[in-house]
Structure 1
Amino acid sequence: MLKRILRKVLGAFVILIGLLIVAYLLFNNFYPSLGGDVSKERRQVYEVSPQFKDGKFNNSKAVPKDLSFGETLDLAYKFFTTEVKNGRPKEDLEVLKLDSDRVAAYKSQTKMVWFGHSSFLLQMEGKNILLDPMFGMVPAPHPWLGDERFNKEMPLDIEKLPQIDAVIFSHDHYDHLDYETILGIKDKVEHYFVPLGLGVHLEAWGISSDKITELDWWQEEELGDITLVCTPAQHFSGRKLNNGQSTLWGSWVVKSVSESIYFSGDSGYAPHFKEIGEKYGPFDLALMECGQYDKMWPDIHMMPEETAQAGLDVRAKKIMPIHWAGFKLALHDWKDPIIRVRKKAIELNVKVIAPRIGQEIMVADSLGTYPNWWKDL
C-alpha cells in the first residue's frame, strides 16, 4: 500500500516537472517579449569585433563572473526574500506633464526631458531622439515577474509623442528595451541606433532591418548635424537564460557643433570613462548610471561614489544621475543613490542636477537649480 502511494506521488512529481519544463520551453521560444536570437550567420559577422570571442561579447576585463547554478539560486533567494526599508517611495511619484503640441513644435536649443529610470526625450538640432525608451510598467518579460515602476503616469503618453527621428538603445535588458514600448512607438520612428546584435530583437518585433544601424564600440554615425558614437561600457546582456552576452552593450556620445551629451547606459566603474572623456569630452551634460547597485554585483553597476568619479573622468560640466527613481531592482533605499552621489560630488567639485520626471532640462544651462523633490517621499 505504502509503495503504491509513493509511486503515485513520484509519478505526479515527474509529471509536474515535465509540465514545468514544457511550459518553460514554450515561454522561452514563443513569448514575444523575449525578443529574437542571434543566428549562426550573424555571429560570424560579429567575429570581426574586438569585443566578440568564444561565441559571445565580452568586457575589456573578465566580468561579470559566471555564476554557478547554486550561486544563481542564492542570489535570487537573497533578492526576493530580503526586506528593503524604503525600497519604494511612500506613494507613486508625481510627474510633470508635457504639452504634446509644444513638444512637437520645439526647434530651439538642445533640451531633454527625463521619463524616469534611464529614459529620455532629447531635442537637438531640430531632431527628436529617444534614449532607452522604456515606458512599460514592469521591467520583466511578463508583468507577474517584476515590481511596478514608481510613476504610473508618464510626462507624455506614447500616442502623444512627436515623430521620432532616432531611437538609441544602450543594451537589451528589460528595464531599457521594452517590447510593449517598441510596439507603441514603431510607427513614429525613423531609425534605430543600437549596439551590435540588439537589432535581432527589433526585427523580431516587426522593425525593418533597413531602419536599424548596429554599431561596435568607437564606431560613429551621422544624424543630420549630430554625431552619434557608440562607446564602451562594462556590463552584460541577455533576455533569456540561454542567450547571455549574445548582443553588445554600450554607452553613447551625442554631439552637435555646439553641445555634447554623454549617456552612460549601464556600467560598472572602469577605465573606459577616462578614455571617452579624453577622446570626446568635455561634455555639457553626462547622464550617469546611479542606482540598482549592490556589493554582490560591483563590476556591472557603479556605486554612487563611483558615479561622481566617472562624471569627473568623462570631463562633464555637470552630471545627472539616472537609473534610479524608476524601479526597484536592487536592495538599497530608493533615495540612497541621489543622497550618496551628491555627497561625493561636493567632495570632487562635480556639479549634479536632479530634475523631476517630466521637468525640462536645457543642456547648456549652467545656472539652473532643482528642488530636492524626493526629500519627503
Structure 2
Amino acid sequence: MIITIILIGLLIILFLVFTNFYPSFGGNSTKKQQLVYEQSNQFNNGKFRNTSPVPKDLSFTETLSLAYKFFTTKVPNGRPKVDLKAQKIDSINIADYVGQARMIWFGHSSFLLQIEGKNILIDPMFGKVPAPHPLLGENRFNKEFPLEIKKLPQIDAVIYSHDHYDHLDYESVLKIKNKTRHFYTPLGVGNHLQAWGIPDAKITEMDWWQEAKFETLKLVCTPAQHFSGRNINNSQSTLWSSWVITSENENIYFSGDSGYAPHFKEIGEKYGPFDLALLECGQYNQMWSDIHMMPEETAKAGIDVKAKKIMPIHWAGFKLALHDWKDPIMRVKAKADELNIEVIAPQIGQEIMVKDTITTYPNWWKDL
C-alpha cells in the first residue's frame, strides 16, 4: 500500500510539473489583461462565452464517459489507407509569385495565402500530432507538405482562429516566428505567442467585429461558435473567431472552428459576398454539434455568408472524431448540389486561385 501511495504521488507530481512547465501549453492572461477583456461582450466572469449558452459544461463523469467512448470506439476507415500525398510546389515559385490571389492548402485548416504581393499564413499547424506532446495523439494524415516549412519565404502576417492544438502549434510557431512580421489573433491568444518568445509589438489581438488595416488589406475578426483552452485549468480563457480578409479585388472568409449559428448570416450581410469561403467540415459528432458543424450545415453556412464557392476544411488532416475520414467531403458535396452552391476540394498543395471559376478538381480521395 505504501508503494502504491508513493507511485500515485509521483504520478501526480509528474502531471503537475508537465502541465505547469511544458512549453507547448503556452501562456496565461494576467489580471490586468482580464480587466481589458471585460470590455468585450464575450467575456464574463473570467471566461469568454459564445452568444448562445454553448458548449454545455460537462460534469467529471460526462467528461470521462465521452473520453472513454472516443478512445475505445473502432472507426471503420477512420484514416486513409495510405499517407495522403501532397502536390509539391517549388520554393522559388512561392518566393517570386506576383500573380492574382491564390492559396496553398497544407491540410486540415492550414493555408498559405499569397495576395497583393504578401504572404499570409492562416492557422499554420505543421506538427505531426495535435496535442501538447507527440505521445498524446495520432499522427496527421500527410507526412509531407507541399513545401518544406524552412523554405517558406518571409511571412508578412499570420492569422490564428483559436488556441486549440490542431490550429495553434508550439513547434510550428518556433519555425516561423523569426521570419514573420506580424501576428493577428483573437483576444488572449497572443499570450501563448508571447510565452514562446514573440514580442508584444508583433502581436495584434482583436475582438469580434473589430477591423484592422494591414497595408492594403482589411482584416476583420468575426464571430464563431466554439470554445478554447490548452490546459486543464484555462478553458475559455482566450477568444475564438473566424476571419474576413479583403483586398481591393478579393474577398475571403475563413470560418475557423464553429458550430452552425446565426453569425454566418450576420457576416454575410455585413461583409459578403465572398469569392471563396473556407468552411469547417470535419471532426463532428451529434454529441458536440453545437461547436462543430455537420457537413450539411457547412453547405448552409456557405449560402449564409453569400459565398460564390466554398472549400471544406478541417478534414483530411487528423482523426479527431468518430466518422469515416471521407464522410465530410461526400456529405457536404451532396448537400451543396442540393443547394446549388459550388464546392471545390483541391488536393493538399494544389494551387487555389481565389477568383477562379474554371478549374475542376478530381475526387482524389476516392480510392484512399
Shorter-chain TM-score bucket reads over 0.9
> Are 1:81 and 2:75 matched, yes or no?
no
- Give the superposition deviation at 1:364: 0.4
* Pairing partner for 1:334 from 303, 309, 325: 325
- Give the superposition deviation at 1:293: 0.1
1:273-305 deviation per Cα after TM superposition (whole angstroms, max 9, x unaligned): 000000000000000000000011010000000
* Pairing partner for 2:343 from 326, 331, 352: 352
1:159-205 deviation per Cα after TM superposition (whole angstroms, max 9, x unaligned): 10010000000000000000000000111100000000000000000
Tell me the percent identity.
Answer: 72
Cα distance in 2 for residues equivalent to 1:262 and 1:251: 8
* Pairing partner for 1:208 from 188, 194, 199: 199
- Give the superposition deviation at 1:19: 1.2
* Pairing partner for 1:16 from 7, 19, 24: 7
Unaligned segments of structure 2, at least 5 residues: none
Q: Secondary structure at 2:181's aligned position in 1?
A: coil
Alignment correspondent of 2:213: 222
Q: Secondary structure at 2:283's aligned position in 1?
A: coil
1:20-66 deviation per Cα after TM superposition (whole angstroms, max 9, x unaligned): 21111101110001101111111111110000001110000111101
Show structure 1 runs of 4+ deviating over 3 A: none
Cα distance in 2 for residues equivalent to 1:95 and 1:212: 31
**RMSD across aligned positions (CA):** 0.6
Cα distance in 2 for residues equivalent to 1:49 and 1:20: 39
> Are 1:275 and 2:266 matched, yes or no?
yes
Unaligned segments of structure 1, at least 5 residues: 1-8
> Are 1:189 and 2:189 matched, yes or no?
no
Cα distance in 1 for residues equivalent to 2:338 and 2:184: 36
1:241-289 deviation per Cα after TM superposition (whole angstroms, max 9, x unaligned): 1100000000000001111000000000000000000000000000000
Alignment correspondent of 1:362: 353
* Pairing partner for 1:175 from 166, 170, 195: 166
1:130-168 deviation per Cα after TM superposition (whole angstroms, max 9, x unaligned): 000000000000011000000000101111001000000
Cα distance in 2 for residues equivalent to 1:353 and 1:344: 13
Q: Secondary structure at 1:144's aligned position in 2?
A: helix
1:215-247 deviation per Cα after TM superposition (whole angstroms, max 9, x unaligned): 000000111111000000000000001100000
- Give the superposition deviation at 1:365: 0.5
Alignment correspondent of 2:90: 99
Q: Which amino acid in the other structure matches residue 193 of structure 1?
A: Y
Q: Which amino acid in the other structure matches residue 93 of structure 2?
A: R
- Give the superposition deviation at 1:17: 1.9
Alignment correspondent of 1:289: 280
Cα distance in 1 for residues equivalent to 2:365 and 2:73: 24
> Are 1:66 and 2:66 matched, yes or no?
no
Q: Secondary structure at 1:191's aligned position in 2?
A: strand
Alignment correspondent of 1:5: none
Alignment correspondent of 1:240: 231
Alignment correspondent of 1:263: 254
Alignment correspondent of 1:6: none
Alignment TM-score, normalising by the size of structure 2: 0.99
Q: Which amino acid in the other structure matches residue 223 of structure 1?
A: F
Cα distance in 2 for residues equivalent to 1:13 and 1:98: 55
Cα distance in 2 for residues equivalent to 1:304 and 1:68: 28
Cα distance in 1 for residues equivalent to 2:354 and 2:122: 15
Matched pairs, number: 368
